[in-house]
């Protein structure tokens, strides 16, 4: 291994591999490697200029056991940036230290181990580059030693019951309701960003940790050291970007359903809310208000005067957001010009089709700047110029008909190398021109994101999840881990997306429990596909805004007087917290803190808080214990040390213990930190 210092970077070369480690912000290091001269030169999620720091580089020698009982002196090197230090031995194995204590080491089981370990005959190396036959990319596997007792969080959104990800294998790929944001937070006081949008996996096993990119030219990860998760998130968002300040007039209720089919339906709902004395901040117009996918315009048969509709909604103080999909049907007026100009995803084999829901479609290629300009110009003309305030960028993974990533190619390269960044590039097609037009008041709704998406005005929701208590429990884990992955603007479909019977008492109970949880989250948003599907279509055509089905009503008053009274009560709770919620959004903007937080985020010294996954903090003030089971009328709540007030009955309790509290249907257990 040859070591040298290049400016503020430590560089090492061995066997055709170049390794580069440099300071990258406060107490942080960026680690890159490539074979021969195949560096991608991309910064990916590390878009922000890092804080200037002083790094110390030392190149020297260390003892090495040769195997015949003798010890040689071999080269080694280290780089230190504040509280973090990386040591590279002669075999290129990197060990990371926080304040002098080992926190992470690459896994190496081959000839030429360290003095303490001796040689191994397994021939397992820490960074394994396997060339892809016929291509210039590699399949890259990077392994680290597992740390006993370590807990791991973040990584985005996965539909599973576990908050602590230790022991999990996570696909690094975007799917409907699965969001890969490859930033992990460790209980040992470090965070690590896998700064690579390639499709692959991360395995946090008990024998070793493994990161795999199926097709890439460069290893790139960023590691930071800090005392706790709050400082880790601050360091992370400093280098990947901060969320903008959220608009005050969107902190209340958003109204949506599958689907409002006409502008008169939208206006009648808005007028009824006004009569009820309930302000809705935003109303959402869902899919198939258009002619065909890819036309990106209202069907004039059912939306004859969109500007008049928007003007009336604005007069009520309601913003308007419309659904835009990345899919372009072959029947669309935009299909031929986009295909001709190379603005759509290419398939490597077979027919040119990537999506087959309600049409024969190919999806756009947002990695191409010309594509982003094209779709914005169409949507500006057909939506934005009518006064539409924002865009619901649905299917933004994108939702492939078949998730065969090796069969798709973007202008940036094979989908395997970069597909995880697709939703972020899709969002930029709208965020960048909208921000240039009206400043930082840009908020769009997406079903997916990647590392750094927080800086592009993205509210991300958890996808098309079922209407079950199991799904509700899983959304809590998903939202908490999304926050720890740096995505503070996160929400769900209240009640889940898919239910067959709105009259089912168990569903109505679920709806209330989900709504109460949503009141104490970043965005309070009514949405769902509500059965039974006994509402006839408006049109006999097999295209256009009138042919597709619609679900049952989904407004607050749609579920009976008893449920309406509870939802109205908690609507008032949400509105009363406006100033507090604004302060939480300011924290998210300034230091990356999520609005819904794991218990250990606020109480990192309390070991019990690292075990809890069925309660959370809404900011630093409110402890929220949602009801996550059907027919559950009381539950246990752990109160950390300090004084706590039960907001439902005013009782003050001392913490440091678990208490049992009542949870009738009209109450969610919430405690205020005194």
| Residues labelled catalytic | 394, 397, 464
Residue 460 CB neighbour total at 10 angstroms: 29
What is the rounded distance in angstroms from the CA atom of residue 142 to the CA atom of residue 150?
19
Residues whose CB is less than 8 angstroms from the CB of residue 299 and which lie 6 or more positions away in sequence, other chains included: 289, 290, 291, 544, 545, 546
Radius of gyration of the chain from Cα atoms?
26
Q: What is the phi/psi pair of residue 187, to 5°?
A: -70, -10
Give Cα 674 distance to the centre of its chain. Answer: 32
Residue 146 CB neighbour total at 10 angstroms: 18
If you write DSSP's letter for every residue of 212-274 in order, what string do you get?
EEEEESEEEEEEEE-SSHHHHHHHHHHHH----PPPGGGSSEEE--TT--SHHHHHHHHHHHH
What is the rounded distance in angstroms from the CA atom of residue 341 to the CA atom of residue 501?
46
Residues whose CB is less than 8 angstroms from the CB of residue 294 and which lie 6 or more positions away in sequence, other chains included: 325, 327, 328, 329, 332, 333, 334, 335, 338, 361
SS3 17: strand
Is the previous residue joined to 398 through a cis bond, with omega within 30 degrees of 0? yes
Helix (H) / strand (E) element for 18: namely: strand 17-23
259 to 217, 390, 563, 621: CA distances (angstroms): 44, 17, 22, 37
Contact at 8 Å (CB) between 625 and 489? Answer: no
Contact at 8 Å (CB) between 454 and 238? Answer: no
3-state SS track over 38-67? CCCCCCCCCCCCCCCCCEEEEEEEEEEECC
Residue 139, class by beta-carbon neighbours within 10 Å (0-12 exposed, 13-18 middle, 19+ buried)?
A: middle
Contact at 8 Å (CB) between 157 and 178? Answer: yes
End-to-end CA distance of the chain: 57
Contact at 8 Å (CB) between 298 and 324? Answer: no
Residue 476 CB neighbour total at 10 angstroms: 22
Residue 381 CB neighbour total at 10 angstroms: 12
User: Strand ranges (DSSP E) for 38-148?
Assistant: 55-65, 71-81, 84-88, 94-98, 101-105, 127-131, 138-145
SS3 441: coil
If you write DSSP's letter for every residue of 647-668 in order, what string do you get?
TTT--EEE-SEEEEEE--TT--
| Exposure letters 341-361 (e unless 16+ CB within 10 A, then b) | eebbbbbeeeeebbbeebbbb
Contact at 8 Å (CB) between 462 and 479? Answer: yes
What is the rounded distance in angstroms from the CA atom of residue 124 to the CA atom of residue 164?
27
Contact at 8 Å (CB) between 398 and 178? Answer: no
């Amino acid at each position: 291994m040859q070591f040298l210092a290049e400016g503020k970077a430590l560089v090492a070369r061995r066997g055709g591999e170049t390794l580069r480690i440099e300071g990258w912000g406060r107490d942080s290091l960026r680690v890159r490697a490539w074979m021969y001269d195949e560096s991608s030169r991309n910064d990916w999620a590390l878009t922000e200029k890092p804080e200037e720091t002083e790094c110390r580089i030392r190149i020297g020698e260390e003892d090495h056991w040769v195997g015949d009982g003798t010890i040689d002196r071999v080269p080694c090197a280290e780089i230190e940036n504040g509280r973090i230090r990386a040591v590279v031995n002669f075999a290129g194995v990197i060990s990371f230290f926080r304040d002098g204590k080992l926190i992470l080491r690459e896994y190496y089981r081959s000839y030429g181990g360290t003095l303490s370990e001796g040689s191994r005959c397994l021939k397992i190396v820490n960074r394994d580059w396997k060339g892809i036959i016929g291509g210039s990319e590699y399949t890259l596997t990077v392994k680290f030693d597992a740390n006993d007792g370590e807990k791991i969080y973040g990584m985005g959104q996965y539909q599973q019951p576990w908050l602590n990800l230790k022991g999990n294998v996570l696909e690094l790929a975007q799917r409907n309701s699965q969001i890969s944001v490859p930033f992990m937070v460790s209980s040992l006081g470090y965070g690590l960003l896998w700064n690579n949008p390639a499709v692959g996996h991360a395995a946090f096993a008990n024998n070793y940790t493994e990161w795999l990119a199926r097709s890439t030219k460069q290893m790139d990860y960023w590691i930071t050291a800090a005392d706790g998760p709050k400082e880790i998130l601050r360091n992370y968002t400093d280098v990947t970007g901060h969320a903008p300040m959220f608009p005050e007039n969107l902190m209340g209720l958003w109204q949506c359903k599958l689907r409002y089919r006409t502008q008169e339906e939208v206006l009648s709902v808005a007028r009824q809310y006004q009569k009820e004395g309930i302000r809705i901040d935003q109303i959402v117009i869902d899919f198939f208000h258009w002619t065909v996918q890819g036309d990106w315009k209202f069907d004039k048969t059912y939306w004859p005067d969109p500007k008049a509709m928007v003007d009336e909604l604005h007069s009520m103080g309601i913003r308007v957001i419309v659904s835009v999909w990345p899919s372009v049907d072959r029947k669309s007026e935009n299909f031929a010009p986009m295909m001709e100009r190379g603005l759509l995803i290419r398939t490597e084999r077979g027919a040119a089709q990537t999506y087959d829901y309600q049409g024969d479609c190919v999806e756009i290629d947002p990695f191409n700047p010309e594509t982003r300009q094209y779709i914005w110009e169409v949507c500006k003309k057909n939506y934005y110029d009518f006064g539409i305030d924002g865009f619901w960028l649905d299917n933004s993974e994108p939702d492939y008909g078949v998730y065969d990533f090796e069969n798709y190619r973007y202008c940036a390269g094979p989908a395997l190398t970069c597909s995880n960044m697709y939703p972020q590039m899709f969002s930029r097609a709208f965020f960048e021109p909208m921000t240039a037009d009206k400043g930082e008041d840009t908020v769009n709704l997406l079903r997916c994101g990647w590392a750094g998406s927080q800086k592009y005005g993205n509210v991300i929701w958890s996808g098309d999840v079922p209407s079950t208590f199991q799904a509700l429990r899983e959304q809590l884990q998903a939202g908490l881990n999304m926050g720890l992955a740096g995505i503070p603007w996160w929400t769900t479909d209240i009640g889940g997306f898919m239910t067959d019977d709105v009259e089912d008492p168990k569903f109505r109970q679920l709806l209330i429990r989900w709504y109460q949880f949503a009141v104490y989250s970043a965005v309070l948003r009514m949405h769902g596909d509500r059965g039974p599907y006994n509402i006839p279509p408006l049109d006999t055509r097999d295209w256009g805004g009138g042919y597709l089905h619609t679900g049952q009503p989904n407004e607050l008053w749609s579920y009976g007087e008893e449920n309406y009274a509870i939802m109205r009560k908690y609507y008032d709770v949400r509105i009363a917290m406006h100033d507090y919620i604004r302060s939480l959004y300011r924290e998210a903007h300034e230091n990356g803190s999520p609005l819904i937080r794991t218990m250990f985020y606020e109480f990192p010294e309390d070991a019990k808080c690292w075990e809890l996954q069925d309660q959370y903090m809404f900011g630093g003030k409110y402890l929220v214990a949602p009801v996550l089971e059907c027919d559950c009328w009381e539950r246990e709540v752990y109160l950390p040390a300090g004084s706590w007030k039960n907001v439902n009955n005013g009782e003050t309790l001392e913490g440091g213990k678990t208490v049992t509290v009542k949870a009738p249907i009209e109450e969610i257990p919430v405690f205020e930190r005194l």
